Amino acid sequence: MGFCYNDGCLNGAEQRCSNCKIATYCSPVCQREAWSTHKRECEMNRILREHQGKEEAKPVEKPPTTHCTGCNVEYDGDEGYAALCEDCGYSACESCVSHHSRGSCYCLESNFGHRYCTMTPQWYHMSSRTGKSYVGDRHPNDPWILEGNPNSFEEKARECGNCGEKTKCLKAEYL
Domain boundaries, given as residue ranges, for the chain: 2-57
Q: What is the CA 135 to chain-centroid distance, rounded?
A: 8
Q: What is the CB-side half-sphere exposure of residue 166 using CA atoms within 13 A?
A: 3
In eight-state DSSP terms, residue 132 is P
pLDDT at 2: 82
10: left (phi over 0), alpha (psi -120 to 50) or beta: alpha
**pLDDT score for 103:** 66
Ramachandran quadrant class, 127 (left: phi over 0; alpha: psi -120 to 50; beta: rest)? beta
pLDDT along the chain (175 residues), means of 10: 89 92 94 93 93 86 88 83 89 76 78 88 83 88 72 90 91 83
How much is the pLDDT for 111? 87
**What pLDDT score was predicted for residue 113?**
87
pLDDT the model gives residue 149? 75
Q: How much is the pLDDT for 104? A: 81
